[in-house]
Amino acid sequence: MKIQTILFTLLFTISIYAQEHTHSSTKALSFPDVPGYKTLKTDFHQHTVFSDGSVWPNIRIMEALRDNLDAVSLTEHLEYQPHSKDIPHPDRNRAYEIAMNEAKNHDLLVIAGSEITRGAPVGHSNAIFITDANELLEDKAEDAFAAAKKQNAFVFWNHPAWHPQNPTGNPNLSNFQKSRIKNGELHGIEVINDGDYAEESLALALEQNLTIMGTSDIHGLIDWHFKEKGHSRPITLVFAKERTKESLKEALFAGRTVAVFDDLMVGRQENLSPLLNACIKVNEAKYIGKTSVLRVTLENVSSTDLLFENLMPYTFYSNPAVFTVPAKGTKTLQIKTLERLDKIELKLSAIRTYIAPKEHAVLSRKIAVVE
C-alpha cells in the first residue's frame, strides 16, 4: 500500500510538472519556411507589471510557448512606471532577467528590449537587441535614441497612427523621426499594432525603407485580449538564415518581414509572395471524367485562413470567384477551362494581403494536369 501511495504521488507530481512546463496549445501559430530562409514567429512589443502591464514576466514566456513563437521581447516603458510604488525596480533590465530564467529550459529566443516613451511628435519606439536598458534612461529623447544606436539596437516606431497622439488616426512623420532615420537610429515601423492595421503606416514603411512590423502590444492576458474574442495575437514573421539571435537581428535590419494578424498579412512583395507560395500546396489537378472541368485541390499548410479571388480567364463551376482555403485545410476548385489542357496557370489574388496600400499579393503558379 505504501508503494502504491508513493507511485501515485510521483505520477501526480509528474503530471502537474508537465502541465506547468509544456505550455502546449491546440491553436499554436504555424507558418512554413520560405526558400533560403527559416520563418520565425515573433512578438517584439509586450508589457508586464514592470511598466504598465498586468502580468509577471514569466507569464509572457508561457504565452509565447503556447502560441509556438520563436522569439519575443518584453519592451517595458523606460519612463512610464505606474506600478513603481508596488514594484520598485531601479534596474530596468529586471523583466528581461525574469523572462530569461523562465525560458532557459525551452526553445525560445528572448530578446532584450525597452520602450522609449515620449509625447508627440516623438511618440513611442521600441529598441530591441539592447545590452543595458538603464543606459537608455535619458532626459532628452535624442540622447535615448543615440544610446540605443551605441548598443547596436534595432529600433522601430510603435503605433504611429495611435489617435491619442495623432487625432486624425494617421501617422505624422515629424522632423524628429526624419532625423532619427537619417542618423540610422530608426529602422522599423509598426503597420499592425494590437488589432489596428494602418495603411498609411505601410505607405511610410515603403517610402522611408523601414522594416514592416506587427505586434500585440499586450498589457493583459493574450487569451483574454485576443483568443476569447476569436483572434490570434498579431506577430511579425521574420525570414532569417538561421534560428539564432544573430540571424534574427540581421533579417530585421535587412527588412525581411511580414506582419500578420489573423488572416491579414502585410509585407513587401519580395517577402510576402514567397510566403504565400509556401503556404499553398497543389494536391491535385485532374479533369473530371471526360469533361473540360479541371478539379484542383489546394492545401493551406499555415495556421491562418487565406482568402482568394479568381484572376484567371476561366470561371469556376459550382464555386464563387471569392473563396477561402482554411487554415490547415483544403479547398477544391472546379475550373472550366473550356478545352482540355495539359497545363494551366493558377492566378489568384490574396485579398487579405497587402504589398502596398490597396494592393494585394498574387498567387501565380503553373500547374501540370494529371491524366
With CA atoms as reference, report the closest residue to 215 among 31, 43, 29: 43
Average pLDDT, the chain: 93
Chosen domain end from 216, 231, 262: 262
Residue 333 is predicted with a pLDDT of 97
Phi, psi of 170 (to 5 degrees): -115, 150
Asked if pLDDT for residue 187 goes beyond 90, the answer is yes
300 neighbors 324 (Cβ within 8 angstroms): no
**244 shares its domain with 293:** no
DSSP secondary structure letter of residue 135? G
In a domain, 268, yes or no: no
- At 27, the pLDDT band (50, 70, 90 cuts) reads confident
Whether the per-residue pLDDT at 263 is higher than 60: the answer is yes
Q: At what angle do helices 141-150 and 175-182 cross, to 10 degrees?
A: 20
Please give the Cα distance from 64 to 57 (Å, whole number).
11
The Cα–Cα gap between 221 and 213 comes to: 21
pLDDT higher than 50, residue 310? yes
Q: What is the 3-state secondary structure (H, E, C) of 24-57?
A: CCCCCCCCCCECCEEEEEEECCECCCCCCCCCCH
Residues in CB range of 124: below 8 A, 6 or more apart: 115, 116, 117, 118, 157, 158, 159, 162
Local confidence band at 23 (pLDDT 50, 70, 90 cut-offs): low
Cell 522594416: give the residue: 211
Please tell me the total count of domains within the chain: 2
User: Are 287 and 350 in a shared domain?
Assistant: yes
Q: Which domain holds residue 320?
A: 276-368
Nearest-angstrom CA–CA distance, 309 and 348:
6
Task: Report the CATH number that the domain containing residue 301 is assigned in CATH.
Answer: 2.60.40
* 94-140 tens-digit pLDDT: 999 999 999 999 999 999 999 999 999 999 999 999 999 999 999 99
CATH number of the domain encompassing residue 163: 3.20.20.140
Q: Which amino acid is at 49?
A: V
Q: How would you classify the pairing of strands 124-128 and 109-117?
A: antiparallel
Indicate whether 228 and 347 sit together in one domain: no
Confidence of residue 25 (pLDDT cuts 50, 70, 90): low
- Split at pLDDT 50, 70, 90, the class of 14 is very low
259/128 Cα distance (integer angstroms): 17
| CA 239 – CA 257 distance, rounded (Å) | 6
Question: d(Cα 56, Cα 42) in Å, to the nearest integer?
Answer: 19
Domain boundary among 262, 296, 324: 262
Cβ contact 113:166 at 8 Å: no
DSSP conformation class of 358: T
pLDDT tier for residue 22 given thresholds of 50, 70 and 90: low
Residue 38 and residue 163 share a domain: yes
Q: Same domain for 311 and 355?
A: yes
Which residues contact residue 19 at a Cβ distance below 8 angstroms, ignoring those fewer than 6 apart? none
Residue finishing a domain among 230, 262, 294: 262
pTM as predicted: 0.93
Q: Which residues pair with 359 in a beta bridge?
A: 356
Candidates 197, 246, 195; CA nearest to 218 is 195
Grid cell, residue 179, equals 532625423
